[in-house]
Chain A
Amino acid sequence: LAKTTQPISMDSYEGQEVNITCSHNNIATNDYITWYQQFPSQGPRFIIQGYKTKVTNEVASLFIPADRKSSTLSLPRVSLSDTAVYYCLVVPDTGRRALTFGSGTRLQVQP
């Protein structure tokens, strides 16, 4: 499984755009990049998944360069309720069915 590296913590202010970058140098051809969000005392929640280029949904955007060795989760105009831990995961398209969580990035949004 590809190992992921992301910043331990980030601080932001309400209304700003937040970009969290994850590196996954040994990503395999059939791996997807997936991000989960976890609030205190709750289970993780799926945010977004992509394979290459850009993916956007109602919550976030995911940017993946051509070499796929890194990815950036972009949260537009964060609010206090976006304070959470964000996990970047590399997930095989087939085969292993479970998730291996890295250390995650703790995002603190200030008023």
Chain B
Amino acid sequence: GESVGLHLPTLSVQEGDNSIINCAYSNSASDYFIWYKQESGKGPQFIIDIRSNMDKRQGQRVTVLLNKTVKHLSLQIAATQPGDSAVYFCAENLPGTYKYIFGTGTRLKVLA
């Protein structure tokens, strides 16, 4: 299996249900955030992003919510499918830099 996932929190959801994955970010000055999906044996893939001047952004089946007051991000996946099984993590970017702080991730398991 993927050793990176050994110590991660796990969210198990039934196929077809909605999933909500949460992330607490670290720096109140961060102004850009990304959610990544990492499948076993693969590199992280961009899912959706949001800037700090927004509190919600929607993509195809995914929505990101940003609460700057409590430095919290969430990723909502509608009608979760088996192909959504992966590790999901958030990344925050500080203004004026091209570097990111990455969260540790949550493993999503989709139950048939």
Q: Do chains A and B stick together as partners?
A: no
B residues whose Cβ falls under 8 Å from a Cβ of A: none
Residues of A within 8 A of B (CB): none
